[in-house]
Amino acid sequence: MATAEAAVAAAGGAVLLYLALVCRLSHHDSSENEGREEEEEEERSWPEMPPATWLEGLTLATRTVLFTCGETIGKWPIGDIAFGIKRQMKLQGSLQHEYAGSDSVQLSGCETLSELTELLRYLNLCLYFSKKPFPAFLEFGGYDQECILLHMPKAMLMKPAFTIVRDANSKCFLLIIRGATTTTDRLTAASGAEVPFHHVILKDGKVEKLVLGHAHCGMLVAARWIAQLAIPCLHEGLSRCPDYEVKVMGHSMGAGIGAILTHILREREEFSSSICFAFAPAACLTWELAESGKGFITSLVNTNDVVPSFSKVSAARIRSEVMAASWRNNVREGMRLNKLFNFVNGHVEKIRSHVASIPAVRVANPNVMVHCNGSSLSEPLIKNTANGTTNGTDALKINGNSAQVCSTYVAPQLETEEINTRQEQETSNGEAAAELPENKLHDTQVASRSRQFYPPGRIIHMVALPDGQTEDDQAFQIYETPRYLYGKIRLAPNMVKDHYMPSYLKTLEVLLDRLSQDCTDKTSPSSVNL
């Protein structure tokens, strides 16, 4: 058995290597056709459903690896990765105060305490489902085998692990999606190309608005796959318990998938009340789609967590800042004299030369028709929609049990331009670009052409502000923050550590203790007499 598995693994590795070499050789056949090949690679559509065969899986995995390499070592010099980020981090200092600015609303009181208590329980459920054996998850939640509606424990490429349980205490069906814990999960998260996605907003069973935009490819495909399995199961559960609600939740990649899945579920009238709790959500939706979920998606962000702000556009922007920093010229000569640095940098350059470059995604041509085949709609809900429902929408066609939206999508002004205005960064970005040579302006061009992803729904952020005489003294407060704050990466020493669930739990428990004390003080007899 072990020999057979080893043989299969070796064969898969050989095919993966072959595909990578084919991509490299075809890319370097002739400099004359290089531009045309890049355009064809860029225009080639990403999959709408998970791979059905092992060959499709290997092809998609290879393309994802090449895409990731093109966005990382293909663009970032080893010196910037090794020294630039750390230097930039020291220069800028702590930026937590930006989340507590005038556009943010501080949350307090017993209502906030009740909301955070509910979030703490659901976060613990996500932790047990992701990190503990399934029986331990059932024991923690107080569930038995009859409470399990569906359980998919094994994750595959664009097929994450998830479960659906019936929670009698809260009278709801909980759909919990696991985050990125395996290699296939990480490949799903790395498939970050922007693909078209739309959301139909219903009111009283009728179409009120159609929201167009783009979504994270891997998470969108995973959400559609879960919807196919979960909808029949939830339909049967709601037929037995009509007073129950549907709540979707997850952490990191699972949170992004859950948010997109909730958009899909709410397009069916029976699931129009579904809500989502997204913990440490990945940036997965463009501005309009992310805004459309404010009424049913709650995203919780912890202090310096970098994941909700991380996207191609924000990464290109931070790279431009690192490249334009004043330290670069002073340190460059010292790095060149370092033998270890030269050794590592030489190998990275070799790898970069062997990886087919992935071109930056350009804004869609306004005259190109965007065909949304296989819409997330599963019922003919769109019948008579007014012409002014959504700008750029020409026709809504219904065919059988599926809805196909065919629209002439006029690309709006990039969200990144609006966000740069709100962040008052035009001057600094212009100065940074002026300091760069022409061959270093690639990232700025990417930021102007690509589509910016944001965390979904309503965002509440647990902020650590200085409190006391030393830097280690911090007071945690919670704010409802505007979305534009997450169009920029804020570097911090603990920006990765703060992303994990134990860190979220620790911060949330500290906040709950403080809010509980505040509520107790307000309701105590002494405070009433005063």
Q: What integer pLDDT is reported at residue 203 of this predicted model?
A: 81
Ranges 21-30, 256-265, 414-423, most confident = 256-265
Query: What does the DSSP assignment read for 365-416?
Result: PTTSEEEE-S-S--S---SS--TTSSTT--EEEEETTEEEEEEE----S-HH
Please, are residues 105 and 458 in contact by the beta-carbon 8 Å criterion?
no
Q: Work out the average pLDDT over 422-451.
A: 45
Please, are residues 256 and 456 in contact by the beta-carbon 8 Å criterion?
yes
Residue type, 128: Y
pTM (two decimals): 0.73
Q: What integer pLDDT is reported at residue 9 of this predicted model?
A: 52
> Which of 137-151, 223-237, 329-343, 357-371 bottoms out in mean pLDDT, i.e. has the lowest?
357-371
> Which of 93-107, 259-273, 386-400 bottoms out in mean pLDDT, i.e. has the lowest?
386-400
> Which of 104-113, 128-137, 304-313, 414-423 bottoms out in mean pLDDT, i.e. has the lowest?
414-423
Q: Tell me which of 54 and 152 has the higher pLDDT.
A: 152
Q: Average pLDDT of the chain?
A: 75
Q: What integer pLDDT is reported at residue 344 of this predicted model?
A: 62
Whether residue 86 has pLDDT greater than 80: no
Ranges 81-90, 425-434, 437-446, most confident = 81-90
State the fold for domain 96-310+455-524: Rossmann fold (3.40.50)
Q: Tell me which of 43 and 162 has the higher pLDDT.
A: 162
Provide the b/e sequence for 160-184 (b: ≥16 CB within 10 Å).
Answer: bbbbbbbbeeeebbbbbbbbbbeeb
Please, are residues 433 and 394 in contact by the beta-carbon 8 Å criterion?
no
User: Within a 10 A sphere around the Cβ of 193, how many other Cβ atoms?
Assistant: 20
Q: What integer pLDDT is reported at residue 355 of this predicted model?
A: 54
Q: What integer pLDDT is reported at residue 342 of this predicted model?
A: 63
Q: What integer pLDDT is reported at residue 41 of this predicted model?
A: 54
Q: Work out the average pLDDT over 385-389.
A: 40
Please, are residues 487 and 423 in contact by the beta-carbon 8 Å criterion?
yes
Largest CA distance in the chain: 85
Tell me how far apart the alpha carbons of residues 283 and 287 are, in angstroms, rounded to a whole number. 10
Q: Work out the average pLDDT over 332-347.
A: 59
Residue ranges per domain, the chain? Answer: 96-310+455-524
Whether residue 406 has pLDDT greater than 80: no
Please, are residues 123 and 505 in contact by the beta-carbon 8 Å criterion?
yes
Pairing of strands 474-480, 105-106: antiparallel
Q: Which of 367, 478, 365 is nearest to 96 (CA)?
A: 478
User: Within a 10 A sphere around the Cβ of 310, how many other Cβ atoms?
Assistant: 19
Q: Work out the average pLDDT over 151-170.
A: 94
> Which of 248-252, 345-349, 497-501 bottoms out in mean pLDDT, i.e. has the lowest?
345-349
- Kindly give, in sequence order, each residue whose CB lies less than 8 Å from that of residue 520, ignoring residues fewer than 6 positions away: none
Please, are residues 447 and 67 in contact by the beta-carbon 8 Å criterion?
no
Bridge partners for 458 per DSSP: 298
Whether residue 120 has pLDDT greater than 80: yes
Please, are residues 16 and 183 in contact by the beta-carbon 8 Å criterion?
no
Q: Tell me which of 15 and 116 has the higher pLDDT.
A: 116
Whether residue 497 has pLDDT greater than 90: yes
Helices (H) and strands (E) in the chain, counts: 19, 14
Tell me how far apart the alpha carbons of residues 250 and 179 are, in angstroms, rounded to a whole number. 7
Angle between helices 217-240 and 253-265 (to 10 degrees): 60
Let me know the angle formed at the C-alpha of 460 by 457 and 464, rounded to the nearest 5 degrees.
150
Whether residue 530 has pLDDT greater than 80: no
Whether residue 470 has pLDDT greater than 90: no
Please, are residues 263 and 376 in contact by the beta-carbon 8 Å criterion?
yes
> Which of 24-28, 279-283, 328-332, 353-357 bottoms out in mean pLDDT, i.e. has the lowest?
24-28
Whether residue 426 has pLDDT greater than 80: no
Whether residue 306 has pLDDT greater than 80: yes
Q: Say what percent of the chain tops pLDDT 70.
A: 63
Q: What integer pLDDT is reported at residue 287 of this predicted model?
A: 95
Q: What integer pLDDT is reported at residue 369 of this predicted model?
A: 31
> Which of 30-44, 207-221, 302-316, 477-491 bottoms out in mean pLDDT, i.e. has the lowest?
30-44
